[in-house]
Amino acid sequence: MKQFLLIAIVVMIFVVIFQIAKASEYVSVLKGEEKARKQNNKINAFLLISFLILGLIGVWWCNDLYYSKTLFPMGAASEIGQKIDLMLYITIGVTGVVFVVTQVLLFWFSFKYQENDDRKAFYFPHNTKLELLWTTVPAIFLTVLVVFGLKYWFKMTSDAPKDAVVVEVTGHQFAWEFRYPGPDNILGKKNYKLTKGANSLGVDFNDPASLDDIHVSATMHIPVNKPVKFVINAQDVIHDVGLAHFRLKMDAVPGIPTTMWFTPLYTTEEMKVRSGNPNFVYEISCDQICGKGHFSMRGVIVVESAADYKMWLATQKPEYYTVFPDKAPNATPTDTSNVKQMPLAAVIASGK
Range 260-289, binding another protein (CB under 8 A):
277, 279-281, 283, 285-289
Give the one residue of 49, 75, 195, 313 binding another protein; rule: CB under 8 A: 195
Of 138-146, 207-215, 216-224, 308-316, the window that binds another protein (rule: CB under 8 A) is 138-146
Q: Identify the bridge partners of residue 291 per DSSP, sorted by sequence position.
A: none
Give the one residue of 56, 186, 238, 302 binding another protein; rule: CB under 8 A: 238
Q: How far is CA 307 from CA 133, 162, 220, 246, in A?
A: 59, 20, 16, 22
Count of beta carbons in the 10 Å neighbourhood of residue 253: 17
Instruction: Decide if residue 328 touches another protein (CB under 8 A).
Output: no
Instruction: Decide if residue 346 touches another protein (CB under 8 A).
Output: no
Query: Which of 281/331 has CB closer to another protein?
Result: 281
Q: CB–CB of 281/275 below 8 Å? A: no
Instruction: Decide if residue 45 touches another protein (CB under 8 A).
Output: yes
Give the one residue of 5, 30, 34, 120 binding another protein; rule: CB under 8 A: 120
Instruction: Decide if residue 77 touches another protein (CB under 8 A).
Output: no
Instruction: Decide if residue 57 touches another protein (CB under 8 A).
Output: no
Query: Which of 116/185 has CB closer to another protein?
Result: 116
Which among 199, 259, 208 is positioned nearest to 229, based on CA atoms?
259
Q: CB–CB of 104/52 below 8 Å? A: yes
Instruction: Decide if residue 58 touches another protein (CB under 8 A).
Output: yes
Tell me the C-alpha distance between 230 and 168, whole Å: 6
Instruction: Decide if residue 307 touches another protein (CB under 8 A).
Output: no
Instruction: Decide if residue 75 touches another protein (CB under 8 A).
Output: no
Judged by CB under 8 A, the chain residues 206 through 235 that form the site for another protein are 235
Tell me the C-alpha distance between 14 and 16, whole Å: 5
The 144-163 site mask, x for binding another protein (CB under 8 A), equals -xx-xxx-xxx-xx------
Of 209-217, 236-244, 319-327, 337-345, the window that binds another protein (rule: CB under 8 A) is 236-244
Instruction: Decide if residue 236 touches another protein (CB under 8 A).
Output: yes
Query: Which of 174/312 has CB closer to another protein?
Result: 174
Ramachandran angles phi, psi of 261, nearest 5° = -140, 155
Instruction: Decide if residue 114 touches another protein (CB under 8 A).
Output: yes
In DSSP notation, 267-298 reads -HHHHHHHHT-TT--EEEEE-S--STTGGG-E
Instruction: Decide if residue 95 touches another protein (CB under 8 A).
Output: yes
Q: CB–CB of 218/300 below 8 Å? A: yes
Query: Which of 66/330 has CB closer to another protein?
Result: 66
Tell me the C-alpha distance between 132 and 129, whole Å: 5
Provide the minimum distance between the beta carbon of 187 and another protein in the complex, in angstroms, as a whole number.
16
Give the one residue of 77, 84, 169, 220 binding another protein; rule: CB under 8 A: 84
Tell me the C-alpha distance between 301 and 288, whole Å: 19
Provide the minimum distance between the beta carbon of 128 and another protein in the complex, in angstroms, as a whole number.
9
Provide the minimum distance between the beta carbon of 210 and another protein in the complex, in angstroms, as a whole number.
17
In DSSP notation, 119-181 reads ---------HHHHHHHHHHHHHHHHHHHHHHHHHHHHHTSPPPTTPEEEEEEEETTEEEEEE-
Ramachandran angles phi, psi of 276, nearest 5° = 65, 15
Instruction: Decide if residue 202 touches another protein (CB under 8 A).
Output: yes
